[in-house]
Amino acid sequence: MNRTIKRLLLVILSVCVMLTLALPALAAGDGDDPNVYVNKGKYVADEWVDTDSTYVFDPASGRLTINDHGNAVPVNDEYAFYDWIKAIAPGVRTVFIPKDSELENFSIRALTEEDAEFWGEDHQNVYNSNVFWKAFSYLYNLERFEVEAGNPEFEAKDGVLYTRHCYDLVHYPAARPDKTYTVDKWCLLTIYPYAFCNTRFLERLELAYSHSLYGDLMMVWERGLSALDLDSGEERESSIKEIAYYGTEEEFTKVISYYEGNNAARQAKLDCRKTDFIHDMITYIKFNFFIMLRLQLDWLRYLTPGR
């Protein structure tokens, strides 16, 4: 009898210990940590992608780490992801991207009637949803990006996120304290969607080599230069008061008119700078020789055995 009571007490004690350890997880809701978002979307194509991406926020340091392995956030889980981003947004100061994080800019959804009408019935169901680029704009206290050395897709230059070699500007942190920012001299290709969306302190933006007699180089994608209510799409007043641009006002208007939502660019005063022969030749050589050469060299790593 004594032994039975001891066993019963031991079982009760074990249950109590287990419940004590589980309480924090239960309080977070179904065992989930509120500071961790796990990609719960389901893919229907591209069998090489996985769904193990996690997004981890550390409230103590203010760092958001994005462990994405090339599959982004599925559209069918997009709004849940945005809700999580908005919940942690006040505390996020830094976004850290590890070297194996790819941040592929796609999500998968079913083909809608509008898609079929516009693209045709055979259009693939991979839709550029700009999930990450819009999500970064919710982080209104974000001060800098950090990218681990060895990332094949991205790099951070003075806290601003670029693609490798700084060819494209991906995102400018909304709370970066500088009032003036000059785009990196190698950025001749594109400014990503939402790149300068809802900046708080930036007043003057200087575009490097933005136009050449040999062709329009810089492309500003939709909402790349914008001030918006991200949920409703309603336009706001931008902090950007002046944009320096190589080319004429007509040429700049043409560049941004191709893509919707660039209201910050239309609100700002344009500081047009004349191009000359030397400027155009340097731009032409950089774009057609050095950039193309460096892009080709990047492919060499895929030719090594075992990859």
What is the per-residue pLDDT for 16?
A: 59
Domain ranges of the chain: 32-151, 153-307
- Sheet containing strand 180-182, edge to edge, reads 180-182, 204-206, 242-246, 269-273
CA 10 to chain centre: 52
What is the per-residue pLDDT for 24?
A: 39
Residues 6+ apart with CB under 8 A from 220: 190, 191, 255, 256, 259, 262, 265
What is the per-residue pLDDT for 213?
A: 78
What is the per-residue pLDDT for 306?
A: 47
What is the per-residue pLDDT for 295?
A: 74
What is the per-residue pLDDT for 257?
A: 84
Split the chain (307 residues) into runs of 10 and give each run's mean pLDDT. Answer: 61 56 38 78 49 85 87 61 93 95 62 64 56 91 96 94 93 98 92 96 93 82 94 94 94 86 95 89 86 75 53
What is the per-residue pLDDT for 126?
A: 47
Q: How far apart are CA 96 and CA 148, in angstroms?
A: 8
Q: How far apart are CA 153 and CA 162, in angstroms?
A: 9
Q: How far apart are CA 289 and CA 199, in angstroms?
A: 34
DSSP codes of every residue in 41-90: ---SS-TT--S--EEEEETTTTEEEEE--S----GGGHHHHHHHHHHHGG
Q: How far apart are CA 241 and CA 237, in angstroms?
A: 10
pTM tops 0.85: no
